[in-house]
Amino acid sequence: MESAAKSNPRAASLPFIYTPFPVIGLSPEVLDRYIVGNDPDTGRPVIDEIIDVLTKPISQTRLEPEATETVKAGPPQVLLEADTEDNLQRLFYEKGWTDGLPIILPTEERVKKMLAGTSHSPDEVVGEAFQFDTREVVKYTVSNIAVIAVMAGARPEYFPVILAIAATKQPSLMPSTTPFEAMLLVNGPIRNEIGMNSGIGAFSAVNMANSVLGRAWTLMSICWGYAKPRKTLWSSQGNNHTYNNMCAAENEERSVWEPFHVQKGFKADESVVSIFRGWSFLNSAGAASHRSVGEELNIQLAVMPPLNSAATLILDPLVARNLKENEGFTTKQDFCRWISQNIKMPAGQFWKTDYIDMLVASQAYKGVEPYASWKKLPDDELIAPYHNPDNINIIVVGGETSPLWKAADYGYSGSASIDKWRANTSDNE
């Protein structure tokens, strides 16, 4: 597999220039002053770094003298010197290989047992990750991921799921000053095979498979270099959801609608993991109100101006059943279209939201609709910000003890086959 950095070495050495912060909510005058201020990473004036990048060859820029342009295989499988468990736990933490919680030490024997969970070769490359601090694109193998699976506490039967997550090449942690968070959703037969929770307390710390799979994704991201303070971790407060990334299975058995992975083109009997990510997350209080689901959602979603119409609703099966049987939404898509047409907010509230102004206003100025038309409206004119129903996701999770739901600005980032990574299947390539 040829990486982008190998075919275009310049891509690996492109510099990262950081401005002072915060950026969100500040005036243009303050942001202008940031340009002449110092880069918080290097201590040099930001404007000097920009001029250097634009006017000097890469070899003459001095943003990160230690940066390289190499593409290399994943970390070699090196055995550490024998030591006590306490010392090894401390070593893994001090090296920045853990999330701060104790791990299962990845001995040779444990890694070998983990590798039995797939028929793929230990040396097979699963994906690659860009190392921000060294400017290296590092390829990681099945064996590398097995080490992380052991550290997270996985059983061999969990390993195909972890490999599928790794194959997406998407980290759970994001290099941003804002508290990004992510979610993993598992569909298909493997949910029950490994005992995942899709019912009561699915997002709580009560189920081994849910907890371990979500944690494995975080440990992958840490080992890929996405949790280095002032390098790739800039989030002011962080996000405790990243400990296991809201990992759960969809409650397909109790849902009145088709499973999420079937909506995305997979067969019902396929096992699939899907990834979502975003910023904002709200829990409903619907059971305590006399409003309809639609009215309650109008209150919740109308306070979260969406990027690209994205939203993810996590509904208890009771809520889904009510929507279908009593409110006439035969499919998830029907309800998404209703949300798209009926959730409204003032244009001024939309455009005066910092991340909308920063990330969407440019589309309006380019004439992209509906943003171009919305930009011309009075502040009090109502718009339908969830204008594209295809970007609204609905999944069904919960144990039917209360008709509640969760609403998030999460966007769908993609899905990956789990069956491909199983042991002794004809699907392995």
- Segment 157-185, tens digit of pLDDT: 999 999 999 999 999 887 777 778 899 99
pLDDT in tens, 285-298: 655 556 777 777 77
Sheet holding 125-131, edge to edge: 71-73, 136-141, 125-131
User: What gap in Å lies between CA 379 and CA 124, rounded to an integer?
Assistant: 55
CB atoms within 10 A of CB 358: 11
User: What is the structure's pLDDT at 12?
Assistant: 46
For residue 87, is it within any domain? no
For residue 102, is it within any domain? no
| Contact between residue 185 and residue 251 where contact means Cβ atoms under 8 Å apart | no
For residue 182, is it within any domain? no
Q: Is residue 10 predicted with pLDDT exceeding 50?
A: no
For residue 243, is it within any domain? no
Q: How many domains does the chain have?
A: 1
| Contact between residue 136 and residue 11 where contact means Cβ atoms under 8 Å apart | no
Polymer length in residues for the chain = 429
Q: Which domain holds residue 58?
A: 17-63
Q: Is residue 1 predicted with pLDDT exceeding 50?
A: no
For residue 48, is it within any domain? yes
Whole-model pTM: value is 0.85
**What are residue 187's DSSP bridge partners?**
272
Q: Is residue 5 predicted with pLDDT exceeding 50?
A: no
Helices (H), 330-378: 332-342, 347-351, 354-359, 361-365, 371-375
pLDDT in tens, 334-390: 999 999 999 999 999 999 988 888 889 989 999 999 999 999 999 999 999 999 999
Q: Look at residue 400 and give its three-state secondary structure.
A: coil
Task: Tell which residue, 313, 330, 323, 318, has the closest CA to residue 292.
Answer: 323
* CB-based burial, 80-107: b 16+ in 10 Å, e otherwise: eeeeeeeebbeebeeeebbbeeebeebe
For residue 46, is it within any domain? yes
Report residue 199's pLDDT band, with 50, 70 and 90 as the boundaries.
very high
For residue 44, is it within any domain? yes
For residue 381, is it within any domain? no
User: What is the structure's pLDDT at 425?
Assistant: 55
Helices (H), 57-156: 85-94, 108-115, 142-152
User: What gap in Å lies between CA 81 and CA 286, rounded to an integer?
Assistant: 56
Q: Is residue 19 predicted with pLDDT exceeding 90?
A: no
